Structure 1
Amino acid sequence: MQIPPPKHLAAFIRHYIFLENSEKTVRSLRLFTDGSSGLILSGDMSLYSGISGDRMPLSFFYGVLNGYKDFYSRDRFFLIAVVFQPYFLNIILNTSAREISNQIVSVEDVLKNKLQSFQEQLFNKINPLHIINDLNVFFTHFLSERMNTDHQIIAASQQYILQNKGLVSSKDLEKFTGYSERHLERKFEYYMGMSPKKYSNIIRLHSFLRLINRSVDNKNMTLLSYEAGFSDQSHLIREFKNNTGLTPKQYLNTENKMAVNFIEL
């Protein structure tokens, strides 16, 4: 279940996702980059790193990913994922987004007990729509204390890239913002954890993902890659695999797509 935020929070939160696993089975999960950061909130979850096997915090933030992260679950789970606009995590944690890119940060370590009430609601399996309404109130109050001018510039640039499906050059951004390429790169690294070019490449990749997911007649993959702005299919496949760990065909054959960038392997 994917739920949009209210209009006044849309510049900071892309959407909420409610996920539930009611079976006591091991499930392998993969989260791959869509240029966003986010928050995973749970009340009682046994989620482990697919690489180290370490248990994940009960609730955690994740920085912008350069590729993908694998997890596995040993038990039932009931969770809400809050998918942020890339710069929102910088606002919440008040630190360089570059330093926390590809990182998992325990909620308890940075916000103490500020989200504990939401974890308790999830533990008690309260209607997720009620929990999301309470989260909207929490984030609204939080934002009233944390905004500055730079956020407005980054937010406008990010929306410009999204509207153009990632097909934006550094010169386009210079013209749009009035800032030099180097200045924008520094700002993007600090607030979003990646360069404008990297973010544009991710958005272009997700433009291609939307095309193949909507294609009902197995439209030619090469044609779709050109439509998304890739110069050739080999470039697309290389970029796709770097970011998802899969080829486009393997992604299409994945049966359980819990979200566009969160799948069960």
Structure 2
Amino acid sequence: MQISPPKHLAPFIRHYIFLENSGENMRNLRLFTDGSSGLILSGDMKLYSGISEDRMPLSFFYGTLNGYKDFSSKCRFSLIAVVFQPYFLNILLKTSAKDVRNQIVSVEDVMKNKMEVFQEKLFNKENPLHIINDLNLFFTHFLSERKSADHHLITATQQYLLQSKGSVSSKDLQHFTGYSERHLERKFEYHMGISPKKYGNIIRLHYFLSLMNHEIDDKNMTTLSYEAGYSDQSHLIREFKNNIGLTPKQYLNTENKMAVNFIEL
């Protein structure tokens, strides 16, 4: 179940996702980059990192990803994923987004008991829509505080990249922002965790995903890759593997897509 935030929160929160696992079997999950950061809230989840098999915090923030992260889940769980606009984690934690890039940050470590009430509601199986309404109030109150003077620059540049479907040159960005490539890169990495170039590559990849997922004609992969702005199919496949860990065909054959960038392997 995917729920949009109210209009005044849309510049900061992309959407909420409520997920439930009612079975007891082990599930292998993959979260791959879409340029966003986010928050995972749970009251009873047993989630483990895919490589070290360390137990994950009950609730945690995740920084902008360069590629993908694998997890495994055991037993039943319910969770709410709050998918942020890339720069919102920087505002929320008041720290450089670059410092938390690819990182998992325990909610308890940085926000103490501020999220406990939402974890308890999830544990008690309260209506997720009611919990999301309460989260909207929480984030609205938080955003009443003053934001960085760079906020307008970052959001305007992000929208420019989105509208261009990621196909923007460094010279275009310099002309649009009035900043040098290196200066803008520093600001982007501080607020969003990644460079404008990397963010543009992610946008282009997800544009290709949208073409591939909604294509009803007989267009082949090469044609779609050109439409998305890739110079050749090998370039696309390389980007796909680096960011998703799969080939386009493997992604298409993945049966359980819980979100566009959250899949069961």
Q: Give TM-score scaled by structure 1 length.
A: 0.98
Tell me, in whole angstroms, the C-alpha distance in 2 between the residues paired with 1:182 and 1:144: 32
Match of 1:154 in 2: 154
Match of 1:84 in 2: 84
Q: Does 1:139 align with 2:155?
A: no
Residues 74 and 35 (structure 1), Cα distance of their counterparts in 2 relative to 1, 3 Å cut: same
Tell me, in whole angstroms, the C-alpha distance in 1 between the residues paired with 2:159 and 2:77: 33
Match of 2:55 in 1: 55
Pairing of 1:3-82 with structure 2 (within 5 A): 3-82=3-82
Shift in Å at residue 28 of structure 1? 0.2
Q: How many residues align?
A: 265
| Structure 2 stretches lacking a partner, 5+ long | none
Q: Does 1:124 align with 2:107?
A: no
Shift in Å at residue 173 of structure 1? 1.4
Q: Give TM-score scaled by structure 2 length.
A: 0.98
Match of 1:247 in 2: 247
**Corresponding residue SS for 1:14:** strand
Q: Which amino acid aligns with 1:161?
A: L
Asked if the contact 1:91/1:146 (under 8 Å) is kept, the reply is: no
CA deviations 1:20-41 (Å, max 9, x no partner) are 1111110000000000000000
- Runs of 4+ in structure 1 deviating by more than 2 angstroms, as ranges, are 216-219
Pairing of 1:88-99 with structure 2 (within 5 A): 88-99=88-99
Alpha-carbon RMSD:
0.8
Shift in Å at residue 219 of structure 1? 2.4
Asked if the contact 1:79/1:122 (under 8 Å) is kept, the reply is: yes
Shift in Å at residue 146 of structure 1? 4.1
Asked if the contact 1:18/1:128 (under 8 Å) is kept, the reply is: yes
CA deviations 1:217-249 (Å, max 9, x no partner) are 452100000000000000000000000000000
**Corresponding residue SS for 1:114:** coil
**Corresponding residue SS for 2:20:** strand
